[in-house]
Homo-oligomer: A and B are copies of this chain.
Amino acid sequence: MSLLIFGTTSFDTIETPCGTATRVLGGSAMHACFAASHFTPTRLVSIVGNDFPDDWRWELQTRDVDLRGLPTCELVKTQFWRGRYHDNWHDREHLEVDLDVFEHFDPVLPDEYRTSEYVLLGQHDPMFQLRVLQQLQRPKWVMVDTIDYWIINRRTVLNRVLERVDGLFVNDAEARLLTGEFNLVRAAQRLLTFGPKCVIVKKGEHGSMLATNDELFLLPAFPVADLVDPTGAGDAFAGAMMGYLSRHPNEIRRAMAMGSVVASFAVEGFGLERLKTITRLTTDERMSEYDAMRFVG
C-alpha cells in the first residue's frame, strides 16, 4: 500500500546535554521518511533550497524514497533551525530559524502521488497540509501531526484539516492546548469530537496513548539509556508507525509499538545519524526485547 509523507526538510544545529551537532539533516518529513523506509517505499512531499546536497538525495533514493515531490528552490537555502535543549532534555529554546524557502512553496503533488492510500501530514503550516489533502483522490488513512505554533496561529485552518483526517498525533502539551482539558483521557476524548477517528498522544519517554471512541490503548516507551538528541523522535515514531500500518492495516497497536522502537533508535544519535544505521533486523530484535519488557503474564 502506498505511503505519502509530507513535512519539512531542514538543516538543524542542535545543542543537547550530550554535545552539539552542526547543520545535520532533519525536519519532520526527513525523520518520518527514514523511519518509514524500513517498512515500505515512501513518496516524499517537501521542499529544499539551493544548498541541498546530492549525497542526501542518494541516501533517500537508496531507501526507496520517491523524490518527485521534492522540488528545489534555487533562490534560497533549505530551512535552517538552531536550538538548545535544557538539562531536563524536554524544554528547548529556539535560537535561530530561517524559513525563507516556504515563501516559495506550494505543495503540488506529482500525478502519481494523488492515489496514495496512506498519508502522513507531518507538522507544517496547516494551509499546506490542507493543500496536500485537497489533491488526494481517495486516501484510506490520513494522519496529521501539528505543534503548538500552528495551534496558536492557524487554529481555523487547523480545524478544517482535523475535520478531514482519520487520525491526529499530538503531544501532551498540544492536547491540552487544543482542548483546554488538563486530563489527557478527557483531552483525547474531546479531540475525537473535532473530526479524527483516532488520536495518538505522544508523551516522549512516558510512552503513548491511542484513543478512539471505542478503545484506549496504552504503550510505555522503549527505555533509552543513551539519549543523545530528542529532535525528531515524534516524527520518527509517526513515520515508522505509518510505514508499518501501510503494510499491516489492521495492526494499529503493533504499528505504534514499531513507532516506539524506531523512535528509541532515533534519539540515540544526532539528526538521522542513528536511524541511518539500523536495519529491519535491528528493529525486530529490539521489538522482541520490548515485548518481553511489557509482558505481564
Residues of chain A from 195 to 247 with CB closer than 8 A to chain B in the complex: 203, 205-207, 209, 215-221, 223-225, 227
A182 interface residue, CB < 8 Å from B? Answer: yes
Task: Decide if A291 is an interface residue (CB 8 Å cutoff).
Answer: yes
How many copies altogether?
A: 2
Q: Is the CB of B294 within 8 A of A294?
A: yes
Which one of A58-66, A125-133, A249-257 contacts B? A249-257
Residues of chain A whose beta carbon lies under 8 Å from any beta carbon of chain B: 17, 87-89, 182-186, 189, 203, 205-207, 209, 215-221, 223-225, 227, 251, 253-254, 257, 291-297
CB <8 Å contact, A185 and B223: yes
Q: B296 contacts A294, CB within 8 Å?
A: yes
Q: A183 contacts B225, CB within 8 Å?
A: yes
Alpha-carbon gap, A209 to B205, bound state (A):
12
Q: Specify which of B225, B227, B253 is in contact with A296 (CB 8 Å cutoff).
A: B253
Cross-chain contact of A206 among B88, B203, B227, B293 (Cβ < 8 A): B203
The answer to whether A223 touches B296 (Cβ under 8 A) is no
A207:B223 contact, CB within 8 angstroms: no
Partner of A218, one of B17, B189, B251, B294: B294
